[in-house]
Structure 1
Amino acid sequence: MKNKLITLTAAITLGISGVVLAKQKPQTVYAATSAERAEMRSFVRNTLAKHHVRGSVVVIKNGEPQQISYGYGWYGKRIGNGNEKVVYPTASLQKVITGAMVIQLINETNNTNQEFSQYTKISRWYPNLKNADKITVGNLLTHTSGIVATGTEINRNTNYSEEQAIDWVVNHVNETNEAEPGTYFYNNTNYILLAGIIRKVTNQSYEQNFQTRIIDRLGLQNTYLYQNIPNYKTDAISYFWNGFNNYKDASYVKRSLASQLPGAGNLFSTPKDYYKIQVGLSNGQILSYSDFNYLTHLRSKVTDYSGGIYLKNNDTLKSAYGNLAGTHFGDWFQMTTDNQNGLVMFLNQTNNNENDEKDAGFEILNHIKPGLFNQR
């Protein structure tokens, strides 16, 4: 996960942007031949090897997903990446899911005493939070709250409940000098506070909401919040490529670290399940296409980021990147907004260089559809 300060102060009049995504066409799947699938598998594995990265990837070509894995998810036990036992931390790729649940609640509370929108000040739920009477739901969703408090990924070696993790960030914000609301600063705190809003609006935990609103709706079999990973599964171990050898400096996400990040980095999944989530964000299973447009075109946005993802190339591409401090994981997806082509890449061996990881992914993307995708 990244903390980036961009001194862009928005003159914010919150509301839906005039930009509207083109209407999504029904998804069409063109089945690849066995020879085409074999060629793609060989290309992806060779590309990962060339870049000295390891992990599990789903490539999507003409609406058809194909999972391809390389290396070990747990080298010490020789459990391969892509093994049905292995799940991976999604890191910041969780944020769009939290954002989607907020949009669900905006719809569900319409014309009720719980009604809210992207315009609503978060002082409704956080009356004691600094600047809460100036910060809106939309500001949290676009990282324009002005909150610059860091340290959410420094492991505090305490297993927090959701409520305790949220209370910690509120107290931390109140002890930190903040920027003016409207200033963009990529910060986990925004999405942890959104997890708290989900709890307060529904009177249920983020965990309960995630189960009913995401897992149950999509029938996901390999997606869990950290505390719910079953004993017959294992979360992947990450490794560092030191320029000479593979599988060095083993590290993993500790329960205490995951517990600090409800809604912003405590989700584990597989690239195949995460692809299903991306499809569900606009096909009606999680959000309708118009709701996805609302989420990704919030008026508080001052960059290409809105609601957990970046939209680029005239809204034809969507992407997000994530990692976790103290580990060597690197997660990146880039897909067309119609979900017909792209890549979901969960890496558990990297050299801790985001651009190098994306270079490997871009080679694969350019093999799927030359000239369609962005390198970064």
Structure 2
Amino acid sequence: MKTAISLTVATSLPVAALTNTNQVQAASYNQTEMRSFVRQTIANYYARGTTVIVKDGHPQQISYGYGYYGRRLGAGNRKVVYPVCSLQKVITAAMITQLMSAGKFNQDTKISTWYPNLKGAANITVGNLMTHTSGLKAADTEVNRGRVYSEADAINWVVNKLNSTSQNQPGKFSYNNTNYILLAGIIRAVTGQSYKQNVKDRIINPLNLKRTYFLEDVPSGMTDGISYTWNRKNYQWAQYVKKQQASQLVGAGNLFSTPMDYYRIQVGLTNGKILNREQFNLMTHLKATSGNGYSGGMYIKGNLKSAYGNLYNTHFGNWIQMTSDNRNGLIMFLNQTQNDENRNKVIGYQILNHIQPGTF
């Protein structure tokens, strides 16, 4: 069991630049200067965390501070993984897209196929779930309910919650974990396997990911990170993700990873290891999208893709902003924040404009 530790400022640990292959790739930019800029920018906002910046197709990991201050584990330490938060939704959407490509159903299939007892399901499509236009909204999906749920129980809780409260008609965008928890249930029903097993078979194993786990599977000797906030000094009000909270968010926020593994996932969405380019374009340009660009777990604007995630009652803040060809961008997993999405994006945009001015 973790203990919440509130201590003073720690010095940063050294960080190595990594690549996504077994060969060292020569970067076309000054990595030392980039590392200094990124670390200083994060420090200016009293934030801490680990990032992967991508410039001209070259990924570089840059970290600042501690991922687990009490154990003196640096933010980029190989023993530490972080909650993926809502950035997991693109993984769920990718598996749904795989099943659509296999002819199991399509974006117009009504979800009453799998949820016949869900109120209004006959009017809601798979595409509605993937674009948050279902009209469904269950409150308190992230509030710790005090028990560890099985996948089936977490999904059933959502169905029962929806049936006991009034819902909107499908069509308008309304972001809610409900949609992706129900998508996890569809994956389970169609494949006859757990959501977890599908992630292992369809995402983790094909990409040979070494630092991506569900919370209950984090190996001995490794740990999930602890989040903090700044209050006159660093590493205050420590909070971590409880097993109970993670278990509620099957398909929508129960996976743990690192920015470098998540970078590999992004590349896998178009290089054929998870999806090919045509399938990715289908996933991110579904008919049900409301016009704000959200489709398949990401916001798409021109040649840019982005997503943001956090978890209730923690201080984690994750953000991805990349070009759709994965050549330039940023994946940022912060574990000390001011619980302010806009403030975290200010950090990110300063870094992005340093990576590739005028692109983001």
Question: TM-score under structure 2 normalisation?
Answer: 0.92
Q: Percent identity?
A: 62
Structure 1: which 5+ residue stretches go unaligned? 1-28
Q: CA deviation at 1:30?
A: 7.4
Which AA in structure 2 matches 1:63? G
Task: Classify 1:30/1:234 alpha carbon distance in 2 versus 1 (closer, same or farther; 3 Å).
Answer: closer
Q: 1:350 aligns with which of 337, 341, 357?
A: 337
Q: Give the Cα separation in 2 of the matches to 1:231 and 1:174.
A: 40
Secondary structure of the residue aligned to 1:344 is: strand
C-alpha distance after superposition, 1:174-222 (max 9, x if no partner): 0111001112110001000000000000000001100000001100000
Q: Give the Cα separation in 2 of the matches to 1:233 and 1:130.
A: 43
* 1:206 match: 195
Aligned 8 A contact 1:342 1:368 in 2: yes
* 2:230 match: 241
2:309 is the counterpart of 1:322: yes
* 1:25 match: none
Which AA in structure 2 matches 1:347? L
Q: 2:177 aligns with which of 188, 192, 196?
A: 188
* 2:281 match: 293
Which AA in structure 2 matches 1:371? G
Aligned 8 A contact 1:30 1:62 in 2: no
Following superposition of structure 1 onto structure 2, how do residues 305-320 of structure 1 map, counting pairs within 5 Å?
305-312=294-301, 314=302, 316-320=303-307
* 2:247 match: 259
Following superposition of structure 1 onto structure 2, how do residues 9-158 of structure 1 map, counting pairs within 5 Å?
31-32=26-27, 36-108=30-102, 110=103, 115-158=104-147
Number of corresponding residues: 336
Moved more, 71-80 or 339-348: 71-80
Which AA in structure 2 matches 1:351? Q
Q: CA deviation at 1:320?
A: 0.1
Q: Give the Cα separation in 2 of the matches to 1:93 and 1:46.
A: 25
Secondary structure of the residue aligned to 1:93 is: helix
Which AA in structure 1 matches 2:81? V
Q: Give the Cα separation in 2 of the matches to 1:148 and 1:83.
A: 37
* 1:335 match: 322
C-alpha distance after superposition, 1:322-375 (max 9, x if no partner): 0000000000010000000000000000000101101011111010011111xx
Q: RMSD across aligned C-alpha pairs, in angstroms?
A: 1.1
* 2:151 match: 162
Which AA in structure 2 matches 1:355? N
Q: Give the Cα separation in 2 of the matches to 1:215 and 1:222.
A: 9
Which AA in structure 2 matches 1:53? A
Aligned 8 A contact 1:145 1:181 in 2: yes
Q: Give the Cα separation in 2 of the matches to 1:148 and 1:199.
A: 21
C-alpha distance after superposition, 1:200-253 (max 9, x if no partner): 0000000110000000110000001122111121000000112x2110100000
Aligned 8 A contact 1:30 1:63 in 2: no
Secondary structure of the residue aligned to 1:100 is: helix
Question: TM-score under structure 1 normalisation?
Answer: 0.88
Secondary structure of the residue aligned to 1:185 is: coil
Secondary structure of the residue aligned to 2:123 is: coil
Q: Give the Cα separation in 1 of the matches to 2:251 and 2:54.
A: 27
2:264 is the counterpart of 1:269: no
Q: Give the Cα separation in 2 of the matches to 1:94 and 1:117.
A: 21
Which AA in structure 2 matches 1:168? W
